[in-house]
Amino acid sequence: MEISTLATYHCLAFVWFFFVAYSITNVKTEERPSEVFLYGGQWKYLTVLNLVLQAVFYGVSFLADVLRLIKKLRCAKCIISSRDLLFSVLAFPVSTFVCISFWTLYTYNRELVYPKSLDGVIPLWLNHAMHTAVLPFALLEILALPHRYPAKKKGLILLGFVAFLYISWVLWIYSVTGEWVYPLFALFSPPGLAAFFAGSLAIIVSFYNFGEFLNRMIWGQSKFSP
């Protein structure tokens, strides 16, 4: 894909995710159900954090494209490294996890992750923007250009560290409020919850490996952006 086309795509993707993140973080207070959006606000939900992550990623990608267009290759090289690290370690695996885990649990019992009371607050298009569209965007990014993945050990350590931070945030909220971020967690005993978190981490690691596999199958080992 031509750099100018990439720049246009990344700019539009950035604007889209910024708009979606802005829309969900500005739900009117009086419209919020009493059981959600309390301590921690929207920032306790992985879905919302992922929207911010995607906006940051596409913003960095757009900056890299602009630097390449104006021939600032030395600066672009550093930004491209950051872009590839963001995509490989976080943007792709987290988007894939959010989409697949949400709709799997929603199909099984929506009250565990997305109470029916939210239907009157969050419009259908916004629900799909947060939980469905993120996966096609991630797949399109792999098709659009190659990304250099870090060494496997480094990538998994970074992914595990971010997962640890989010789990710690969830547990902190429970310790303060006595309420779980997602009703699903209340179904587990402490050992069961630990097993659930471990299983979720294993799943997101598998998505990391899947992204690396797709990148290698489509682009090979040697074709990377300058």
Residue at 193 is within a domain: yes
Residue at 226 is within a domain: no
Residue at 169 is within a domain: yes
Whether 44 and 170 have beta carbons less than 8 Å apart is answered as: yes
The residue among 1 and 193 whose pLDDT is bigger is: 193
Residue 192 has pLDDT above 50, yes or no: yes
Q: Count structural domains, the chain.
A: 1
What is the pLDDT, as a whole number, of residue 172? 94
What is the pLDDT, as a whole number, of residue 211? 95
Residue at 20 is within a domain: yes
CA distances from 111 to 35, 75, 105, 116, 200 (A): 12, 48, 9, 7, 19
Residue at 225 is within a domain: no
Give residue 64's identity as a one-letter amino acid code. Answer: A
Residue at 180 is within a domain: yes
Q: Where do runs of H (alpha helix) occur along 41-91?
A: 46-69, 73-86
Residues 123-165: tens digit of each pLDDT: 999 999 999 999 999 999 999 999 999 999 999 999 999 999 9
Nearest to 92 by CA among 53, 125, 52: 53
What is the pLDDT, as a whole number, of residue 42? 83
Nearest to 155 by CA among 100, 94, 80, 86: 86
Residue at 224 is within a domain: no
Host domain of residue 156: 5-27+38-219
The residue among 30 and 22 whose pLDDT is bigger is: 22
Residue at 32 is within a domain: no
Task: Name the CA radius of gyration of the chain, rounded.
Answer: 18
Burial 149-185, CB ≥16 within 10 A → b, else e? bbeeeebbebbeebbeebbebbeebbeeeeebbbebb
